[in-house]
């Protein structure tokens, strides 16, 4: 009897066959219907462009929802992926992982954090931050039933705890009973926050942490007010409450600074990262200052988090971001994009109310009194060959790769102009 073949030199054509013979109805038959998908199947990408299974080209101003910082098929990422997969792709966290240590060192040397815990996603990173805050409340603050304050219109993830932390009831519907210990306040309103803390204290519900996004992404591309965040930092310093910032969408250079907390001018006690950290490979991180680094062995963990493959690739993303001075490009292209969005707003006042954003996370805000919603524009832009996404019902979000060129920004504005001209 012949021995089984463990390693074959035969070509693996499954991926190409899957796209060449793609049938949406078969896909829908086997995949849970958790997404309302647009009617294209993307097959490949290069830089800021992607192509569908029919060969049609699109300018990508979604970037995997602010994830593909270096665009698609970036040479440095291709090299990192190839090198690491040939070397070692996964082992357990029972052993030292040099790539994980090198990535943690880069992150702590380029942020206010002292220690890092690696996981697989933004939601999981926020879960870790919530657990860390609750332990801190019990062991350091002596709080028996800690409360974490979050903001209305926030978004922190889809797990049970992070969807509870998310201040949008539409994401919570039918998933009750939700996780206790959360309270919501209006964003950018310091008096409302102070009043909430006072009321919770009167009700003998002590606040352990305040969890906020430096900019609300899913909530409509709403920038945080630096004055508001500085007031919160002072309040936390006076009371011992932890400040946790969710940097999942705005971190890793998206705002024009490496971290969103730099844009609002404060340092958090804990912050989270994901999305752009891996440039498209799944990785998340909880980053904490030394006084919050209180997890002990076996109190938190993950099978895949921080494995050699994702950390090797993420380290290359970080080093490329630094070596190529992409932050300067983010700031320049962001100004150019907002100038173009302002011109769009002025040209179509019957549809558009304005624009807002930082760096390369920007929103075209639609008028509340028009029947047109963001999804209408997203669908129409798709027909023109431009990929954009909604951020709530009345904001069109533009989050291109950080490598986007001036010519590509001009092209995106021209395609958006053409889109709105047809809708108007």
Kindly list the catalytic residues. Answer: 155, 246, 275
- Cα-Cα end-to-end distance for the chain: 72
* Cross-strand bridge partners of residue 155: none
How large is the C-alpha radius of gyration of the chain? 22
Q: Which among 400, 402, 391, 406 is positioned nearest to 154, based on CA atoms?
A: 391
Q: DSSP readout, 52-107?
A: ETT--EEEESSHHHHT-TT-BS-HHHHHHHHHHHHH-----TTS--HHHHHHHHHH
For residue 308, give Cα distances in angstroms to 114, 252, 281, 300, 315.
Answer: 21, 20, 12, 19, 10
Q: CB neighbours (10 Å) of residue 375? A: 14
3-state secondary structure of 325: coil
- Please list, residue by residue across 408-422, b when 16 or more beta carbons sit within 10 angstroms of its beta carbon and e when fewer do: bbebbbebbeebbee
CB burial of 245-263 (b: ≥16 within 10 Å; e: otherwise) equals bbbbbbbbbbbbbbbbbbb
Q: Vertex 396, ends 408 and 212: CA angle to 5°?
A: 110
Strands 207-212 and 215-216: unpaired
Say how many C-beta atoms besides its own lie within 10 A of residue 134's C-beta. Answer: 18
Q: In angstroms, rounded to a whole number, what is the distance separating the alpha carbons of residues 340 and 412? A: 9
Nearest to 19 by CA among 74, 56, 72, 48: 56
Residue 180 CB partners (closer than 8 Å, separation 6+): none
Q: Which of 76, 137, 38, 10 is nearest to 382 (CA)?
A: 38
Annotate 147-181 with b (16+ C-beta within 10 A) or e (fewer).
bbbbbbbbbbbebbbbbbbbbbeebeeeeeeebeb
User: Quick one: 242 exposed, middle or buried, by C-beta within 10 A (0-12, 13-18, 19+)?
Assistant: buried
């Amino acid at each position: 009897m012949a021995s089984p073949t463990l390693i074959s030199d035969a070509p693996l054509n499954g991926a190409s066959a899957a796209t060449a013979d793609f049938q949406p109805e078969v896909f829908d038959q086997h995949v849970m219907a958790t997404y309302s998908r647009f009617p294209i199947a993307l097959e490949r990408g290069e830089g800021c462009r992607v192509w569908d299974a029919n060969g049609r080209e699109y300018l990508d101003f979604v970037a995997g929802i602010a994830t593909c910082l270096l665009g698609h098929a970036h040479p440095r990422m291709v090299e990192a992926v190839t090198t690491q997969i040939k070397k070692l792709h996964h082992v357990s966290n029972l052993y030292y992982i040099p790539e994980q240590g090198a990535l943690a060192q880069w992150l702590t040397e380029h942020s206010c954090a002292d220690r890092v815990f690696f996981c697989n996603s933004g939601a999981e990173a926020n879960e870790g931050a919530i657990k860390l805050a609750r332990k801190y409340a019990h062991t350091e603050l002596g709080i028996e039933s800690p409360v974490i304050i979050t903001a209305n219109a926030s978004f922190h993830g889809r797990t049970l705890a992070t969807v509870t932390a998310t201040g949008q009831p539409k994401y919570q519907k039918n998933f009750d009973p939700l996780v206790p210990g959360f309270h919501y306040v209006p964003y950018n309103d310091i008096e409302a926050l102070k009043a909430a803390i006072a009321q919770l204290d009167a009700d003998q519900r002590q606040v352990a942490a305040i969890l906020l996004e430096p900019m609300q992404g899913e909530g409509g591309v709403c920038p945080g007010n630096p004055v508001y965040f500085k007031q919160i930092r002072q309040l936390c310093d006076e009371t011992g409450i932890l400040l946790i910032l969710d940097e999942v969408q705005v971190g890793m250079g998206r705002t024009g600074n490496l971290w969103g907390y730099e844009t609002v001018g404060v340092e958090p006690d804990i912050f989270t990262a994901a999305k752009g950290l891996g440039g498209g490979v799944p990785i998340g991180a909880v980053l904490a200052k030394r006084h919050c680094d209180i997890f002990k062995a076996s109190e938190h963990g993950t099978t895949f988090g921080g494995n050699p493959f994702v950390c090797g690739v993420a380290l290359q993303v970080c080093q490329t971001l630094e070596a190529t001075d992409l932050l300067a490009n983010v700031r320049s292209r962001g100004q150019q994009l907002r100038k173009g969005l302002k011109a769009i707003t002025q040209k179509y006042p019957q549809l558009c109310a304005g624009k807002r954003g930082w760096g390369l996370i920007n929103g075209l805000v639609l008028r509340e009194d028009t029947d047109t919603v963001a999804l209408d524009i997203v669908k129409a832009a798709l027909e023109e060959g431009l990929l954009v996404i909604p951020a709530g019902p009345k904001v069109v979000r533009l989050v291109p790769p950080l490598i986007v060129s001036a010519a590509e920004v001009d092209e995106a504005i021209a395609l958006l102009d053409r889109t709105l001209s047809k809708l108007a």
